[in-house]
Chains A and B, each alone.
Chain A
Amino acid sequence: MSYRVVHYINQFFANIGGEDMAHVPPELREGAVGPGMALQQAWNGGAEIVSTIVCGDSYFAEHEREAREQILAWVKDAKPDIFIAGPAFNAGRYGYACANIALSVQDELNIPVLTGMYEENPGADMRDKILIVSTSNSAAGMRKAAPAMAALAFKLMNGEEIGPSVVEGYMPNGIRKNFFEKERGAKRAVRMLISKLNGKPFVTEFPMPSFDRVTPNPAVKDMSRATIALCTSGGIVPRDNPDRIEASSASRYGEYSIAGVDSLTKGAYETAHGGYDPVYANENPNRVLPVDVLRELEREGRIGKLYDVFYSTVGNGTSVAASRAYAEEYAKKLKDANVDGVIMTST
């Protein structure tokens, strides 16, 4: 029995046309199409492309929700052992589509996924979330890319453990895996130094964590019409801490309505933070979360509106990944609520 594969490609690789045909909506075809042939050849009967989904790049970008729904439905029906998208090489919108649709299949259908593209393709930003095989920057690299993707895909279908990125050919995804090199470390170090001294390219074995900076958003143009939200890492919660926000390791966040609340009065609110003396915050919670002032500014028309929900966490938590995940979650809620600016207070 051979494994079942669903393959996603764009209009160009399906031979429909170039940019002029990028508007075509998703279409389901039986069997392998275009680059799928090369994949299938590499599997030599071990796996088979049961269907190919073709979608125009512009269509995907402009109708992402509809395209996603349709494609997920087809993939679900086909019950494949793996979903493969691309390779997209340096085509930006194609890469974006491959990465995003692969992520959806992986997260929503729980099916292994694989895509491939050039490392500078915008879709490659998702390398930490899905497996992306590194390819050259033009379709001329298909001869190398197809066997590499086929081999890695077969391992995934077979349920084999995936080796380190440099061995398997996928983009580093932040998960460190051990393997034995051909030369010992000291020899590799001397070689790397010689390259560095001679201005030749070298690849560090451990990229330093990037000091991730986010570009500042444009300022709030008209404060008198803006919706401002309050967030705090000072652990302000309603009395008795209904969500049991933990004092030291924040494993969740609180979401509390302040509709109709004019000021955070003593007794009604308190702090759940275990990292500082709570007396002052408990005595007057506005000292940490200045609801009183913002309500006044709202009345005076200095700000358009104080958003009626605030988010609260405890800043003690050092598990960076976790705090990032829940901040991402509530940031999205704030964005969806059309909040124009946020004041985050910390203790």
Chain B
Amino acid sequence: MVKEIERAGIPVVHMCTVTPISVTVGANRIVPTVAIPYPLGDPSLSAEEEYTLRRRLVQNALDALSTEVEEQRVFERQG
């Protein structure tokens, strides 16, 4: 589905846990996430910590959207 959005002319970042699948389906900007049932969270953290984690991941995604890429790229987790 990321491919159809890309094809429509909009840059798209795919946030997912199983990044090889994302590579297979043809996403160009890929940001790895935490786990399948809670990609952008972690129930073992406190609410504040979890929010900070999510914010960092989303920031990662926005950075990916702001980065020119030539081919498929996985933006590994920062920090």
Report which A residues bind B (CB closer than 8 A).
Answer: 211-221, 223, 228, 231, 233-234, 276-281, 283-284, 286-290, 292-294, 296-297, 302-303, 313, 323-324, 327-328, 331-332, 334-335, 339-347
Contact = CB atoms under 8 A, between A and B. Distances in A.
A293 B55 contact: yes
B41 A280 contact: yes
8 contacts: A223-B62, A288-B40, A328-B4, A331-B8, A334-B5, A342-B12, A345-B40, A347-B37
Contact of B5 (A288, A292, A331, A340): A331
A341 B40 contact: no
A53 B36 CA distance: 56
Contact of B15 (A212, A323, A346): A346
Contact of A324 (B4, B36, B70): B4
Nearest to A283: B43
Nearest to B42: A287
Contact of B71 (A216, A277, A303): A216
Contacts of B22: 346
A343 B41 contact: no
A331 to B, nearest CB: 4
B10 A335 contact: yes
Nearest to B63: A223
A332 B8 CA distance: 6
B15 to A, nearest CB: 5
Q: Which of B28, B36, B50, B59 has the most CB of A within 10 A?
A: B36
Contact of B11 (A216, A288, A345): A216
A323 B5 CA distance: 12
Interface string B44-79: 000000110011011101100111111110000000
Nearest to B71: A216
Nearest to A302: B62
Interface of B: 1-18, 22, 26-29, 33, 36-41, 43, 50-51, 54-55, 57-59, 61-62, 65-72
A277 B55 CA distance: 23
Contact of A228 (B2, B5, B41, B62): B62
B9 A335 contact: yes
A280 B38 CA distance: 6
Contact of B41 (A233, A286, A296, A328): A286
A277 B39 CA distance: 12
Contacts of A277: 37
A113 B59 CA distance: 50
Contact of B12 (A234, A276, A287, A344): A344
Q: Which of A231, A276, A286, A343 has the most CB of B within 10 A?
A: A343
B46 to A, nearest CB: 13
Given A231-B1, A344-B13, 12 more contacts: A219-B11, A219-B68, A221-B66, A277-B37, A278-B37, A296-B55, A297-B62, A303-B62, A343-B12, A344-B2, A344-B27, A347-B36
B65 A288 contact: no
A286 B50 CA distance: 10
Contacts of A231: 1, 5
B54 A334 contact: no
A297 B58 contact: yes
A346 B26 contact: no
B62 to A, nearest CB: 6
Contacts of A323: 1
Contact of A212 (B3, B14, B54): B3
A221 B67 CA distance: 9
A172 to B, nearest CB: 21
A77 B18 CA distance: 55
